[in-house]
């Protein structure tokens, strides 16, 4: 088994208008939560980027040269482990021979400190422990560099689709989609929005296990729904409510992305490959039809809604993804419903009849 100490952040008392210094603290392996993680979750600083950045702006370095020496770099960017920031390496532990992925972030700008995306990913991944979410084993911090040690997976969904030229058998599609929804459901159950789901961020190993990666854009969310930046999610997988400027969103943003990924696995090509926000909306309208107040109450109040949008009638989804049976088409339609309040939840999606075959087979996930 891999032998790693886990390093977490400890928050020192902080008064208003004053930035607290953070220090690395070595905790016992069985520790599940730290004062900082608890503070972030309870106070929802992750919902407020500026405050979050200011709070985590300064980190006292902890020298970990012995650990770094034990991680022999194998190759540079020979695989894809998601890249909101930093450089990714494949490495092997000299003591255990375990292969891991190193995500390195240079800390050249001392005034800015550790990037907020890195702190966000660390704090969330330490909380999210589920088979369909990539494991963060360790965090190594030196004066000029922050190294995140992840479990290594051989490929990602984008490369997997390219390898088979988009021609994946229906059972494999079903198994991958089930795992995707399981990972999303776990995130949402723990009040986390991923916000950047796309094939490149879904890692796959040779056994066919699929895991969500790149939580650099993820946020913890509270109830009621907060206002967030609408500049999230790669364009092709971005929900229409976000494209039209909505900043009030919740779990439905990830559900739309999952639907786009589902259709791409089934058809072998992106469902809505737009080149700009306007083009993206038009591509959605041409397939689902132009939304109206009848089909999507409240759409006319979105900031970027235009009453002169071109009018299109919907195209039957079975014409676009003939590989899906009736149950698959029904699930897809529920994932990419215009009205975010009407989109199916990840938890409900797992109980959809489309997955009955998997449940009869005891949920086997191996595909290779």
Q: Where are the beta strands (DSSP E) in 116-244?
A: 136-141, 145-151, 155-156, 192-193, 202-204, 210-212, 219-220
**Which of the 8 DSSP states describes residue 237?**
G
Other Cβ atoms less than 10 A from the Cβ of 145: the count is 16
Contact 127, 33 (CB under 8 A): yes
Burial class for 326, CB neighbours closer than 10 Å (0-12, 13-18, 19+):
exposed
Angle between helices 252-267 and 326-335 (to 10 degrees): 140
Give whole-number Cα distances, 113 to 18, 25, 53, 98, 175, in Å: 16, 18, 9, 31, 41
Catalytic residue among 156, 196, 209, 254: 196
DSSP string, 82-125: --SSSEEEEEEETTT--EEEEEEEE---TTT-S-HHHHHHHHHH
What is the distance between the alpha carbons of residues 232 and 195, in angstroms, rounded to a whole number? Answer: 6
108 is catalytic: no
Structure tokens belonging to residue 58: 């300064």
In the block, which residue shows the tokens 């022999």?
72
CB < 8 Å & 24+ apart, contacts of 271-275: 271/236, 271/320, 271/336, 272/236, 273/236, 274/235, 274/236
| DSSP-H helix ranges across 268-352 | 277-288, 317-320, 326-335, 346-350
What is the distance between the alpha carbons of residues 38 and 23, in angstroms, rounded to a whole number? Answer: 16
In the block, which residue shows the tokens 């409900």?
348
- For residue 304, give every residue at least 6 positions away whose Cβ sits within 8 Å of its Cβ, in sequence order, or none: 243, 244, 245, 277
The residues that are catalytic are 196
């Amino acid at each position: 088994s891999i032998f790693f100490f886990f390093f977490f952040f400890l928050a020192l008392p902080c008064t208003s208008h004053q930035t607290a210094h953070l220090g690395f603290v070595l905790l016992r392996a069985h520790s599940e939560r730290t004062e900082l993680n608890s503070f972030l979750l309870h106070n929802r600083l992750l919902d407020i980027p500026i405050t979050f950045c200011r709070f985590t702006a300064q980190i006292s370095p902890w020298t970990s040269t012995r650990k770094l020496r034990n991680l022999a770099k194998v190759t540079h960017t020979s695989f894809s482990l998601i890249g909101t920031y930093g450089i990714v390496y494949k490495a092997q532990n000299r003591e255990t021979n375990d292969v891991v992925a190193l995500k390195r972030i240079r800390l050249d700008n001392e005034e800015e400190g550790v990037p907020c995306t890195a702190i966000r990913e660390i704090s969330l991944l330490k909380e999210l422990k589920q088979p369909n979410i990539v494991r963060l084993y360790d965090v190594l911090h030196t004066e000029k560099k922050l190294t995140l040690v992840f479990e290594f997976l051989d490929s990602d969904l984008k490369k997997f689709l390219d390898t088979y030229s988009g021609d994946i058998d229906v059972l494999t599609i079903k198994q991958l989609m089930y795992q995707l929804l399981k990972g999303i459901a776990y995130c949402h159950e723990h009040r986390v929005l991923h916000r950047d789901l796309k094939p490149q961020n879904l890692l796959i190993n040779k056994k066919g296990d699929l895991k969500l990666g790149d939580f650099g854009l993820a946020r913890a969310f509270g109830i009621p729904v907060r206002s967030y930046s609408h500049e999230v999610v790669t364009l092709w997988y971005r929900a229409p409510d976000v494209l039209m400027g909505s900043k009030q969103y919740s779990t439905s943003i990830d559900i739309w992305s999952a639907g786009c990924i589902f259709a791409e696995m089934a058809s072998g090509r992106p469902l809505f490959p737009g080149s700009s926000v306007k083009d993206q909306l038009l591509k959605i309208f041409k397939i689902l039809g132009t939304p109206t107040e009848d089909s999507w109450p409240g759409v006319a109040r979105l900031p970027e809604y235009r009453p002169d949008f071109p009018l299109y009638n919907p195209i039957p989804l079975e014409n676009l993804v003939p590989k899906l049976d009736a149950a698959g088409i029904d699930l897809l339609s529920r994932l990419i419903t215009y009205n975010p309040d009407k989109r199916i939840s990840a938890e409900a999606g797992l109980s959809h009849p489309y997955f009955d075959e998997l449940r009869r087979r005891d949920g086997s996930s191996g595909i290779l």
